[in-house]
């Protein structure tokens, strides 16, 4: 009987942790979504103004000899 109580308690703790993690993830998405959208709009604006058809995320590139738009995008965002 005592072992069952301990198992039930462990399960409740595990469930609580999982629910807390889900809530945290949801909250992070709520907070970051408008930021990412603002950055996306700035990237589109600067890229279009400079005549680019594509703007790639530099974190995934191994080699890039082209222009870097980071400074222009930061300026557009007010940084």
List, for residues 17-52, the tens digit of each pLDDT value.
Answer: 999 999 999 999 999 999 999 999 999 999 999 998
First to last CA, the chain: 61
pTM for this entry:
0.63
- The whole-number average pLDDT for the span 1-25 is 97
pLDDT at 69: 87
pLDDT at 32: 96
pLDDT at 68: 83
Residues 6+ apart with CB under 8 A from 38: 77
DSSP class of 34: H
Q: Which of 44, 36, 47, 39 is nearest to 79 (CA)?
A: 39
Residue 72 to residue 52: CA distance in whole angstroms: 13
64 pLDDT higher than 70? no
Confidence of residue 65 (pLDDT cuts 50, 70, 90): confident
């Amino acid at each position: 009987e005592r072992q069952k109580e301990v198992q039930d308690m462990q399960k409740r703790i595990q469930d609580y942790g999982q629910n807390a993690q889900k809530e945290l993830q949801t909250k992070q998405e709520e907070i970051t979504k408008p930021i990412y959208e603002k950055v996306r709009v700035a990237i589109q604006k600067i890229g279009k103004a400079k005549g680019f058809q594509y703007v790639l995320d530099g974190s995934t590139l191994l080699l890039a000899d082209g222009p870097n738009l980071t400074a222009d995008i930061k300026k557009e965002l007010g940084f």
